[in-house]
């Protein structure tokens, strides 16, 4: 694999241990024991929440650094659940540092600009093709 935007998930007969890789990194996804897995790694849903949380944190850190804001630490907590016919992600951002109310409001605005947030809040199309190997 040469494209860092391409990931591969490989699962064998083990329930439900899945090897994930991109051009550089390898991770494991699994399901909890009570769902038939071995809890060897985060669930796919956990990875989606972690993706939003980490992208938000990185985006805010980049902005704070560029604007030289006095931000010591950023903690982003993401939960998700079903509400009627849609999935709702709740993102709580805790910022430690000496910032004004205006800077706080701007950071909240910037949080909505992280690439993962944009993907999750815009129309998504998934093309799936099954091939025999």
The pLDDT score that the predictor gives to residue 4 is 66
Which stretches of the chain drop beneath a pLDDT of 50?
Answer: 1-2
Tell me, what's the pLDDT at 5?
A: 85
Using a 10 angstrom Cβ sphere, with 0-12 exposed, 13-18 middle and 19 or more buried, the burial of residue 59 is buried
Alpha-carbon distances, residue 4 vs 21, 57, 66, 107 (angstroms): 10, 20, 25, 28
Q: Estimate to the nearest angstrom the gap between the alpha carbon of 73 and the chain centroid.
A: 18
Domains of the chain, each with CATH number or no CATH: 1-41 (no CATH), 44-121 (3.30.300.20)
Model pLDDT, residue 133: 86
What pLDDT is recorded for position 1? 38
Task: Give the pTM.
Answer: 0.91
Identify the pLDDT of residue 3: 63
pLDDT for 37-64, tens place per residue?
999 999 999 999 999 999 999 999 999 9
Provide the pLDDT for residue 14.
85
Q: What DSSP designation does 7 have?
A: -
Distance CA 38, CA 84 (A): 31
């Amino acid at each position: 694999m040469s494209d860092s935007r391409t990931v591969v998930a490989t699962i064998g007969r083990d329930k439900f241990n899945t090897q994930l890789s991109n051009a550089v990194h390898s991770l494991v996804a699994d399901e909890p024991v009570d769902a038939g897995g071995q809890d060897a790694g985060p669930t796919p849903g956990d990875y989606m929440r972690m993706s939003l949380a980490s992208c938000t944190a990185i985006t805010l850190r980049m902005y704070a650094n560029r604007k030289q804001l006095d931000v010591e630490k950023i903690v982003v907590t993401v939960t998700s659940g079903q509400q009627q016919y849609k999935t709702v992600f709740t993102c709580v951002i805790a910022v430690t540092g000496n910032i004004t109310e205006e800077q706080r409001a701007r950071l909240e605005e910037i949080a909505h600009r992280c690439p993962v947030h944009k993907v999750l809040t815009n129309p998504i199309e998934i093309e799936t093709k099954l091939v025999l190997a």
